[in-house]
Amino acid sequence: MSGPLLLPTWEQLSARPQIVSTMRRYLNQIGCVLRPGSVTNADQALRAFAGFLAETSPEVTSIDQVTRHHIEDYKPWLAKRPGQNKARASTATLAHRLGTLRMFFVRIDEWGWQEAPPRVPMFPGDLPRQDHPLPKALDDAAAAKLLRAAQAESRLLIRVTVEVLLRTGLRVSEFTALSADAVVQIGAAPWLHVPVGKLREDRYLPLHPHLVILIEDYRTAHVDPGHPLLLPRENGRALDRHTVTRMLNKAGAAAGLPHIHPHQLRHTLATQAINRGMSLEAIAAMLGHRSMDMTLRYAKIANRTVADEYFAVTDQVDALYAKTEPLPADAIGPKMARLRREHHRLLGNGHCTRPTELDCAFEAICENCSFFQTSIEFRPTLQAQHDDAAAKGQHHRADLFNQLLTGLTEGEAS
């Protein structure tokens, strides 16, 4: 059991029949509600822990004998296991194995199983904190190179694969599972029906007419009309993520690009869309995100959007720091009065002296301040402010000044 692929089989753990029975009973239960892949992952996590108990704790013959002490020994033991092509397992692998094991203990405790330990021996803090790197998208130049290289490929399936993934943002599993009738006509436009996938929801994507023609050309040349899949391989076998990855990198190598993961094309489309003004809600719908938190990650990598907004305010920021030339002595009188009239903003109880180049992000913050006070002498100014705000459709400001005027009236009456 020295490597990631050398987990003990359930038969090899038969010397611990009670442990095996509890774990396999648990797997049967979650198999009723989880996807097969999730059950397989849970199976591996439980066999890893069972192997640890067999190797280090021969006195433990049933799950109810597992204590906090065993968990604390298991964590460093698991951390030393080799990972896939690595000397150590990744943090993500450790978090997944430990998280799955903790959920096993939590569930059998909630279900009231007699095999459950007296208390759940694991806590959320047992899971290592994972890094959350930003999605790695191709920049515009690299994406263009990849597309041109794919279009130059003699194998049409490579071109179809690259263009569909790059223009739709599909997950690989969604792409390989597209059914033969996935291209549908809704109204005057073609749409792509994406099957139920990772998040258990299907959706429709607007399909570029160019892709419709490309898909039809490939199917006419290489796909039997009765085939259940939209884009199988030329021999009729279904595509898989490894084949898709190889095809992408064949085109990528021709374009002089480093290794490309299929999911990068999904990130690329999302980044291109947000950089060109597409709303987060529309991007979420396009990508099939259940939570906006998933989509907001792309807002962090929209470098062009950030840059555009930064440079849009640069001039205003420069104005804030700009040095004004000193006025000559003879300008202190009438010229200064004129400058005040031109540049100062009349407030309810005074003036604002910010430069004209700078927008105010606070609007009526002065009047909302707890230290703000006014009196009857400012009634004409407040009335003028109210009328100006109402004329400009600034209803919240008009309401504010109306409240201030009402307060003055009530004060006079009292």
Q: How confident is the model at residue 359 (pLDDT cuts 50, 70, 90)?
A: very low
Q: How confident is the model at residue 160 (pLDDT cuts 50, 70, 90)?
A: very high
Q: CA-CA distance, 133 to 131, in Å (whole number)? A: 6
Place of tokens 């490894």: 242
Instruction: Return phi, psi of residue 206, to 5°.
Output: -65, 135
| Contact assessment for residue 252 and residue 149, using Cβ atoms and an 8 Å cutoff | yes
CA atoms within a 13 Å half-sphere pointing along the CA-CB vector of 37:
3
Tell me, what's the pLDDT at 343? 45
Query: How is residue 235 written in tokens?
Result: 């021999």
pLDDT at 72 over 70: yes
Tell me, what's the pLDDT at 208? 86
pLDDT at 361 over 90: no
pLDDT at 287 over 80: no
Chain-centroid distance of CA 61 in Å reads: 43
* Tens-place pLDDT, residues 306-343: 555 666 666 666 666 665 555 455 544 554 455 444 44
Bridge partners (DSSP) of residue 192 are 183, 205
Provide the 10 A C-beta neighbour count for residue 252.
22
Structural domains in the chain, sorted by start: 17-126 (1.10.150), 140-304 (1.10.443.10), 329-413 (no CATH)
* Tens-place pLDDT, residues 86-140: 556 778 888 889 999 999 999 999 999 999 999 999 999 998 876 555 557 788 8
pTM of the model: 0.51
* Tens-place pLDDT, residues 206-254: 888 889 999 999 999 999 999 999 999 999 999 999 999 999 999 999 9
Burial of 210 (0-12, 13-18, 19+ CB in 10 A): exposed
**For residues 281-285, average pLDDT:** 75
Residue, of 390 and 309, whose pLDDT is higher? 390
Instruction: Return phi, psi of residue 86, to 5°.
Output: -135, 155
Residue, of 379 and 121, whose pLDDT is higher? 121
| Contact assessment for residue 234 and residue 210, using Cβ atoms and an 8 Å cutoff | no
First to last CA, the chain: 88
Residue 404 CB contacts under 8 Å (≥ 6 apart), including other chains: 348, 367, 374, 382
Tell me, what's the pLDDT at 242? 94
Tell me, what's the pLDDT at 362? 45
Among the residue ranges 171-180, 324-333, 394-403, the one predicted with the least confidence is: 324-333
Q: How confident is the model at residue 188 (pLDDT cuts 50, 70, 90)?
A: confident
